[in-house]
Structure formats: structure tokens, C-alpha cells
């Protein structure tokens, strides 16, 4: 029995497609939850839009606030004063 190119399964492409579908579903759920929260808060359209567009952001941890080590300098081009 001869196998054709169509009969061969490309598992890496299948895994990428599945991951893209999962990511898309997570984004949809996250945006939908943000929309429902914004509607329940009775915000203006601009605030609603901002809430939905920023729904992927995560709050800062205590270690991320002032006093913690910085991973990115504010101005990497400026000479350091060390």
C-alpha cells in the first residue's frame, strides 16, 4: 500500500495550530471577562475600550515595585553615574 504526502501527519504543525487555537480562546475569554466587568461598572466608551485593550496586563508584585532590582535601565543610552 503506497502512502501519499497527504496521508503523512505533520505533528509539529498540528501542535502549533493547536497552541494558536488555545491562545486565541484564552484571549477571547480574557477580553470577554473584561467587557463584562466594564459594562457592570457603567464606564464611558473610552474607559471601556481602555479596559478591554489592557486586559492582558498583569498587576505588579511586591518585588516589582520601588526598591527592587531593575532589569531594564530607564535610559540605556545615557552614561551611567557609577
Range of the domain at 33: 13-57
Report yes or no on 28 lying in a domain: yes
Give the pLDDT confidence score for residue 58 in this predicted structure.
84
Give the pLDDT confidence score for residue 78 in this predicted structure.
72
Give the pLDDT confidence score for residue 59 in this predicted structure.
81
Report yes or no on 27 lying in a domain: yes
The tens-digit pLDDT sequence of the chain (82 residues) is: 456 667 788 999 999 999 999 999 999 999 999 999 999 999 999 999 999 999 998 887 777 666 666 667 677 677 766 5
**Among the residues of the chain, which ranges form H helices?**
11-40, 45-53
Q: Provide the number of structural domains found in the chain.
A: 1
Give Rg (Cα) of the chain. Answer: 23
Give the pLDDT confidence score for residue 23 in this predicted structure.
96
Going by the DSSP 8-state scheme, the letter that residue 67 receives in this structure is T
Give the pLDDT confidence score for residue 60 in this predicted structure.
77
- The DSSP code sequence of 30-52 is HHHHHHHHHHHTT--HHHHHHHH
Amino acid at each position: 500500500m503506497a502512502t501519499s504526502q497527504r496521508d503523512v501527519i505533520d505533528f509539529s504543525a498540528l501542535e502549533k495550530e493547536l497552541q494558536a487555537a488555545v491562545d486565541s480562546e484564552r484571549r477571547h475569554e480574557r477580553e470577554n471577562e473584561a467587557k463584562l466587568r466594564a459594562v457592570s461598572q457603567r464606564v464611558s466608551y473610552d474607559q471601556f475600550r481602555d479596559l478591554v485593550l489592557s486586559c492582558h496586563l498583569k498587576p505588579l508584585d511586591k518585588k516589582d515595585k520601588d526598591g527592587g532590582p531593575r532589569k531594564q535601565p530607564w535610559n540605556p543610552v545615557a552614561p551611567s553615574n557609577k
